[in-house]
A = this chain, B = another copy of it.
Amino acid sequence: MSNNGYKTKQQQAILKFLMNNQDSHVTVSQISDYLETENTHVGVTTIYRHLDKLLEKGLVRKYTVDGTTSACFQYSNLNAECKQHFHLKCEKCGKLIHLNCSHAAEMCRHIYDEHGFGVDLFRTVFYGICSECSTKSEHNKEMVL
């Protein structure tokens, strides 16, 4: 069944990098480039394969960001709790926030009860600007509606 497979240097390096960057999303080439600077060459093929495994395990999330063409990945230990709260993602700094909020949960129930739509909390992400970024850029307010 190969529950976890072998423990290899490459696997550890990738996972370590992802965990050190939980606050932001990274692309495959960013992972590759970074590891290169650490004198730890890992082929992109290997990176893709590990990300696939991590996705299956629910340890990373995969995003497609606005104008970019390549996929972004972000470490996020998706456990049972993540089915019950929302995810907010800052469009500025990329931070992922796990929001435990009864208001949100209630609204979800409302949408299901009244509008018949079953929201997939695993998949749904709220995009916007986090509090830090919005105070940081008071001068050039962009899209904070």
| A105-132 interface bits toward B, Cβ cutoff 8 Å, 1 = contact, 0 = none | 0110011001111111111111111110
Residue of B nearest to A71 (CB): B64
Binds B, one of A11-19, A40-48, A95-103: A95-103
Query: Are the C-beta atoms of A120 and B91 separated by less than 8 Å?
Result: yes
What are the residues of chain B within 8 A of A123 when measuring CB–CB?
A: 91, 127-128
What are the residues of chain B within 8 A of A78 when measuring CB–CB?
A: none
Check A145 for interface membership: any CB of B closer than 8 A: yes
Known: A117-B126, A120-B128. 6 other contacts (CB 8 A): A101-B115, A103-B106, A107-B107, A120-B129, A121-B145, A122-B145
What residues make up the interface of A, taking CB atoms closer than 8 Å to B? 64, 83, 88, 90-91, 97, 99, 101, 103-104, 106-107, 110-111, 114-131, 134, 143-145
